[in-house]
Structure 1
Amino acid sequence: MASWTFSNIVKDDSLTVIVGISLASAIAFSTYYLSFVAKVPNIHCGNKKLKSLLLSRVPCLSRRYWVTPWCIEPRLHTILSMPVFHTKEPISYEREILVLHDGGEVALDWKHKCLTHSKGDPILILLPGLTGDSQTFYVRKLVQAVSEAGWCCVVFQNRGLAGVRLKTPRTYCAANFEDFKEVLDHVVKKHPESPLAALGVSLGGLILGNYLCVAGENTPLTTAVIISAPWDVFISSESLQKPWMNRALNQHLAKALCNMYLRSCSSYDP
């Protein structure tokens, strides 16, 4: 009887410890989540009128953003979402090949019926990330949302991507927006009556931002949006060298760029 009682006491004490640790962990996580994760977005805007307009027209900017509690790491968001979005049906595009001034070629994928039937509807030029194209999962989600809002959409894919081989010994980088400028001029010429906007993601955002810094007000764009572009590319580059997740991402991107070159290296004599 004494042995049975002692055993139960030990079990009760173990259960108490487990409950105590679980409760303390829940309190600690909740405190961290409410203090550092679920926050009101920071609005950095030098134009006070624009800031007031944004806050009045986009009410979610004044509310806390409740990040998914069981997945607060932003890189894990991308990893876990990929299997879900990759199962979706691909979007139907009409492809246009644009020959650039130096003989290089880029693919412009127009959302179905937008290439020849815009008729003055607003057009969004979408610039994907480093190795992205029109079927990349986040691009498809953006194109779908833009189309549902009544906009035409064209995805500008950099040289060597989306099945288009390199025609010249030149690729692309964030510091050069010449290809985007040619694409923009081409869209303006093809649809002079349509209001134009541009949206760049990651590397596409850097290219778009670089263009806007130089063009200033001398641009046919009425609106521009930059998503997930580094504030400081040097710090971002250093971050990509850190283990383990960042380095794995860096290796994936480097491999994709090498594969792009290998697919195209037989297309011209170096």
Structure 2
Amino acid sequence: METMNSLADSPYKLLLTALSLIPITHYVIIIVFVLFVKLYNFLEFHIIQDLLSGFRGQQVELTFNSCSHLYSEVVSKCKLLHGRFMSTPWLSSPHLQTTFLRFFGRPPFFNYRREIFSTGDGGIVALDWLAQHDVMENEYPGNNEVHQDAGTPVVIVIPGLTSDSDSVYIKHLTFYMAKRGWNVVVSNHRGLGGVQLTSDFFYNGGWTEDLRKVVKHIRSQSPDVPLFVVGTSLGANMMVKYLGEDGDDILIDGAAAVCCPWDLLLCDRFIGRNAVQRFYDKALGAGLKRYAKKHQDFFTRLSDWDGIEKARRVREFDTSGTCKIGKFDTADIYYRASSCASYVRRIKIPLLCISALDDPVCTKDALIWDECRANENVILATTQHGGHLGYFDGMDAKGVWWVRAVDEFLTILGSSKLTKRQNKMPDSLLLRPQKSLTDKDPNVGFAKKTDNQIHVDNLPKVTKIFETHTAFDSITFFLKRFMDQF
């Protein structure tokens, strides 16, 4: 009898009875809440933190040498670098910032003017130019010639991995700076920008010779104007390495590195860390495979084509393609030899580095904190949020913060005594406010690609080409971008 009573009073039975009395809606609420917390942490959302801070954003952190003249003469006057960065509330995740840039980045609509430049070893690169009159309504020259002000400073843009002048973030940068009065030229990597590979070599993360020759070419055409370089992502790694290699012999006056990987080996380890990072790894690897298929005859002849076709990660592509063509024994050797972090101490010109601590592609563990404190020519600006090259701010997500920050830095640098050619900076660059130019500009389309009708008539040793792409509507654009990931 006592045994039966003990079973009737079993704590487990009592617990089940109590749980059965809880309404099913409460269970649904609990499950939804748990899923929300997991998704919130998985995608690294920070909307709650933003709400608690009153949507004021976080202060931009600056790391530099205490004796830096670059800081006292230039960066101390940069309002954006001494302010706060607040990402668009509905993009309060580094992954949303990064993917929004690729899928819905709303690139401006304009036409480049193309110069085909020979690298001297049989290779060619496409230089896509954009000046102020190219982005001003009704100001296109009727004879399709390049009419560049001889005194206007020039900015060379180095895109990232598999990116070119048609990439969304590159369009945002070139449009903004051209609208502000700069002469901007995008130096597309070999085999990108619609040109073919014409030599037995293609670019890699540590290849600086093409950039060196492009800079020398542009400097020879414009010897007396300020010349700057902006590198993005892997292009920033190439640019920083170039700055360190040339040291005192550099031909440019200043530079900016945005979302630089710094240490390719650390980034390779980081990008395979979890499911979200592996998505980026897969997407970047797919981009490299598309690049290889565009130049299949080249890669079939010089690399392990079977390995490239089987590659799923960037590392696998580099093992079968980059290392074979670049004469590296292993991927680790290639990453160590090509990383730019060890070259930072040799840089002799002003350099601004911008990175987000939540960058899902380039790990914060590779950031050059100590190198910046040791070299008075380098300043590192870090933000808590921003993703990889995203940095969308404002409720409408039309502005890209790092674009405005780079423009402000280069403008003030160009007018400072740290730049020998500061007297050539036009007044229009010094007086205009630092704000997004896309809000009111009639040339901005939601998801239309640039027509890229390219023509140059008056530059020496130039091949004139015409390249036209069909403009897609927003749905087609999104589907294409989505399918490109696989």
1:99 aligns with 2:102: no
1:169 aligns with 2:188: no
Task: Identify the residue that residue 42 of structure 1 maps to in structure 2.
Answer: 61
Q: Secondary structure at the match of 1:200?
A: strand
Kindly provide the amino acid, as one letter, of the partner of residue 260 in structure 1: Y
Task: Identify the residue that residue 189 of structure 2 maps to in structure 1.
Answer: 158
1:56 aligns with 2:76: yes
- CA RMSD across the alignment: 3.0
Q: Answer whether contact 1:100 1:182 (CA < 8 A) is retained.
A: yes
Task: Identify the residue that residue 379 of structure 2 maps to in structure 1.
Answer: none
Q: 1:262 to 1:84 in 2, by over 3 A?
A: closer
Q: Secondary structure at the match of 1:155?
A: strand
Task: Identify the residue that residue 71 of structure 1 maps to in structure 2.
Answer: 91
- The alignment's TM-score, normalised by the length of structure 2, stands at 0.47
Q: Answer whether contact 2:152 2:183 (CA < 8 A) is retained.
A: yes
Task: Identify the residue that residue 5 of structure 1 maps to in structure 2.
Answer: none
Q: 1:74 to 1:260 in 2, by over 3 A?
A: same
Q: 1:33 to 1:161 in 2, by over 3 A?
A: farther
Structure 2 Cα separation of the partners of residues 142 and 31 of structure 1: 27
Which consecutive residues of structure 1, in runs of 5 or more, have no partner in the other structure? 1-9
Q: 1:185 to 1:115 in 2, by over 3 A?
A: farther
Task: Identify the residue that residue 147 of structure 1 maps to in structure 2.
Answer: 178
Structure 2 Cα separation of the partners of residues 157 and 217 of structure 1: 26
Task: Identify the residue that residue 219 of structure 1 maps to in structure 2.
Answer: 250
Q: Answer whether contact 1:90 1:135 (CA < 8 A) is retained.
A: no
Task: Identify the residue that residue 81 of structure 1 maps to in structure 2.
Answer: 101
Task: From 230, 234, 238, give the equivalent of 1:203.
Answer: 234
Structure 2 Cα separation of the partners of residues 164 and 30 of structure 1: 46
Q: Answer whether contact 1:205 1:229 (CA < 8 A) is retained.
A: yes
Task: Identify the residue that residue 179 of structure 1 maps to in structure 2.
Answer: 210
Shift of 1:156: 0.3
Which consecutive residues of structure 2, in runs of 5 or more, have no partner in the other structure? 1-21, 38-46, 135-140, 303-486
Task: Identify the residue that residue 386 of structure 2 maps to in structure 1.
Answer: none
Shift of 1:239: 1.4
Q: Answer whether contact 1:125 1:153 (CA < 8 A) is retained.
A: yes
Q: Answer whether contact 1:122 1:195 (CA < 8 A) is retained.
A: yes
Q: 1:142 to 1:31 in 2, by over 3 A?
A: closer
Q: 1:31 to 1:164 in 2, by over 3 A?
A: closer
Q: Answer whether contact 2:148 2:183 (CA < 8 A) is retained.
A: no
Task: Identify the residue that residue 330 of structure 2 maps to in structure 1.
Answer: none
The total of aligned residue pairs comes to: 248
Task: Identify the residue that residue 3 of structure 1 maps to in structure 2.
Answer: none
Shift of 1:65: 2.2
Q: Secondary structure at the match of 2:253?
A: strand
Q: Answer whether contact 1:160 1:261 (CA < 8 A) is retained.
A: no
Relative contact order (C-alpha < 8 Å, sep 6+): which is higher?
Answer: 2
Q: Answer whether contact 2:50 2:57 (CA < 8 A) is retained.
A: no
Kindly provide the amino acid, as one letter, of the partner of residue 64 in structure 1: R
Question: Over residues 20-40 of structure 1, what are the superposed CA-to-partner deviations in whole Å (9 max), with x where a residue is unaligned?
Answer: x9xxx9xx9348964xx9421
Bigger Cα displacement from structure 2, 239-248 vs 158-167: 239-248
1:29 aligns with 2:48: yes
Shift of 1:106: 0.8
Shift of 1:151: 0.6
Structure 1 Cα separation of the partners of residues 175 and 253 of structure 2: 21
Q: Answer whether contact 1:128 1:156 (CA < 8 A) is retained.
A: yes
Kindly provide the amino acid, as one letter, of the partner of residue 255 in structure 1: A
Structure 1 Cα separation of the partners of residues 150 and 228 of structure 2: 16
1:244 aligns with 2:240: no
Task: Identify the residue that residue 263 of structure 1 maps to in structure 2.
Answer: 294
